[in-house]
């Protein structure tokens, strides 16, 4: 496990954004948006199996066996990472996203300062859109941190998985991870209206029921910030409306129009003169003219509304480039604002035994016997007739649950751990 641990620490030091690992292949990583290969580092199939066995608790192992992939976030040596484990032609593979230890601010992300106005809203729906890897979650985290620093509010997040850990400051922030603290986005949204929130963050709008509940929460007087995969403003509105049957779309458009406050579409663009990527935005504001276009289903005219809405703080992508990116002085280097770093949070993770989820994790003070067990090698294969997961009785040596994070013990040799499994 020391080899894996060293890779993570190297990625933090060098500023990698992603690391990719699979059996019998060299290490692949992404640096400054470019995929690179280190052929001096290669993993055996057994090493990959052992790493996965050590990182997954029994609950996540069951998910892996059921759908042959699993998402989760953990801390390794106090560095926060998001990991996707999935099955491929070369066995199990890991895609690892290294996350900043500190929540960045709007200024540090080189975003337009007007995004700070989102934190002043008392109600309404804010959609942060973009493709995978465009920085949506980071932008939302910066907005939530702006609320946290500037006003008193109760913020509840529903995420899959939790990527940034917040420390409550002016605001009181509670975070729930789907699959760990709540069964689904739907259940989280049903729960949250009974939890006295001021601000709600919904990690991703995918299912119609999640979208419907999100719109209802925004209509009921809460500020709701949500993420959706869309490359253009018009696409985001279409995707929400078209998630429902044709006979329900008029009602959804009216709900959306009544609650919509902002739509921000983000992409990361490499700027030659800067030699790094910066976020380029399209911004639509929920003014009355925009609400009318949505109600009347004249969505192709939203682009024109952004052109004419300059005085109301709207931007097309081209005008954002010309009037903000090209004129801005003093960009913050990504190495300063987004470099993965040790976490800085006050609250340890704790899973109450009253939930009946002993497989999720326990407090750091729990007895050693409650530590996750090592799955057998066969447990990594697709589920068999029973569809159940079986685990060996002996816990993995060199693996501990420190503050409910999985921390790799460098003192244990990987060869020794693999030899234990082969017995």
The top-level CATH class assigned to 2-100+344-422 is alpha beta
| Whole-number pLDDT of residue 366 | 29
| Whole-number pLDDT of residue 84 | 95
3-class secondary structure, 104: coil
Residues with Cβ within 8 Å of 113's Cβ and at least 6 positions away in sequence, in order, are 106, 107
| Whole-number pLDDT of residue 372 | 36
| Whole-number pLDDT of residue 227 | 97
Q: What is the Cα–Cα distance from 105 to 75, expressed in whole angstroms?
A: 22
| Whole-number pLDDT of residue 117 | 97
| Whole-number pLDDT of residue 371 | 33
Q: How many other C-beta atoms lie within 10 A of the C-beta of residue 82?
A: 18
Helices (H) and strands (E) in the chain, counts: 13, 17
141 close to 163: Cβ distance less than 8 angstroms: yes
| Whole-number pLDDT of residue 383 | 41
* Delimiting residues of CATH 3.40.50.300 domain(s) in the chain: 113-335
* Delimiting residues of CATH 3.30.450.90 domain(s) in the chain: 2-100+344-422
| Whole-number pLDDT of residue 422 | 54
Angstrom distances, CA of residue 289 to CA of 257, 313, 314: 10, 14, 12
Helix (H) or strand (E) holding 172: strand 172-177
pLDDT in tens, the chain (423 residues): 788 988 988 888 787 889 999 999 999 999 877 899 999 999 999 999 999 999 998 888 999 999 999 998 888 877 788 899 999 999 999 999 988 778 889 999 999 999 999 999 999 999 999 998 898 999 999 999 999 999 999 999 999 888 888 999 999 999 999 888 999 999 999 999 999 999 999 999 999 999 999 999 999 999 999 999 999 999 999 999 999 999 999 999 999 999 999 999 999 998 989 988 899 999 999 999 999 999 999 999 999 999 999 999 999 999 999 999 999 999 998 767 656 555 555 466 777 787 765 454 433 322 333 333 334 333 444 444 333 333 333 333 333 333 333 344 445 555 555 555 555
296 CB-side CA count, 13 A: 10
249 CB-side CA count, 13 A: 14
| Whole-number pLDDT of residue 286 | 97
| Whole-number pLDDT of residue 378 | 38
Which CATH number is correct for 113-335, 3.50.50.60, 3.40.190.10, 3.40.50.300, 3.40.50.2300?
3.40.50.300
- Burial of 288 per CB tally in 10 Å (0-12, 13-18, 19+): exposed
Q: What is the Cα–Cα distance from 104 to 113, expressed in whole angstroms?
A: 14
């Amino acid at each position: 496990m020391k080899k894996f641990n060293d890779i993570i620490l190297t990625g933090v030091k060098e500023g990698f954004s992603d690391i990719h690992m699979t059996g019998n292949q060299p290490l692949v990583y992404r640096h400054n948006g470019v995929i690179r290969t280190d052929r001096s580092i290669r993993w055996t199939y057994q090493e990959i199996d052992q790493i996965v066995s050590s990182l997954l608790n029994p609950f996540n192992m069951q998910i892996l066996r059921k759908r042959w992939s699993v998402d989760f976030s953990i801390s390794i040596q106090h560095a926060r990472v998001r990991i996707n484990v999935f099955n491929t032609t070369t066995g199990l593979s890991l895609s690892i996203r290294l996350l900043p230890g500190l929540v960045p601010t709007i200024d540090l992300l080189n975003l337009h300062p007007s995004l700070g106005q989102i934190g002043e809203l008392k109600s309404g729906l804010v959609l942060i859109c973009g493709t995978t890897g465009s920085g949506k979650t980071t932008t939302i985290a910066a907005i939530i941190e702006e609320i946290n620093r500037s006003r008193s509010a109760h913020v509840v997040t529903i995420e899959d998985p939790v990527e940034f850990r917040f420390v409550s400051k002016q605001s009181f922030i509670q975070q729930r991870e789907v699959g760990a603290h709540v069964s689904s986005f739907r259940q989280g949204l049903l729960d949250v209206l009974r939890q006295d929130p001021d601000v709600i963050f919904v990690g991703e709008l995918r299912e119609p029921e999640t979208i419907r509940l999100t719109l209802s929460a925004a209509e009921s007087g809460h500020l709701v910030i949500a993420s959706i995969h869309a490359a253009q403003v018009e696409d985001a509105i279409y995707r929400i409306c078209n998630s429902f049957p044709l006979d329900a779309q008029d009602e959804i458009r009216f709900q959306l129009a009544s609650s919509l406050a902002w739509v921000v579409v983000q992409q990361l663009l490499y700027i030659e003169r800067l030699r790094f990527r910066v976020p380029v935005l399209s911004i639509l504001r929920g003014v009355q003219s925009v609400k009318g276009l949505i109600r009347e289903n004249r969505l192709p005219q939203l682009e024109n509304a952004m052109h004419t809405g300059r005085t109301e703080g709207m931007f097309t992508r081209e005008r954002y480039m010309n009037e903000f990116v090209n004129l801005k002085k003093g960009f913050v280097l990504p190495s300063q604002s987004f470099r993965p770093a040790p976490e800085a949070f006050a609250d340890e993770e704790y899973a109450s035994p009253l939930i009946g989820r002993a497989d999720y994790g326990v407090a750091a003070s729990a007895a050693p016997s409650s530590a996750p067990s090592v799955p057998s090698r066969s447990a990594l294969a697709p589920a068999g007739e029973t569809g159940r997961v079986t685990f060996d009785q002996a816990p993995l040596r060199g693996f501990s649950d420190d503050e409910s994070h999985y921390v790799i013990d460098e003192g244990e040799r990987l060869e020794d751990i693999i030899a234990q499994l082969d017995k």
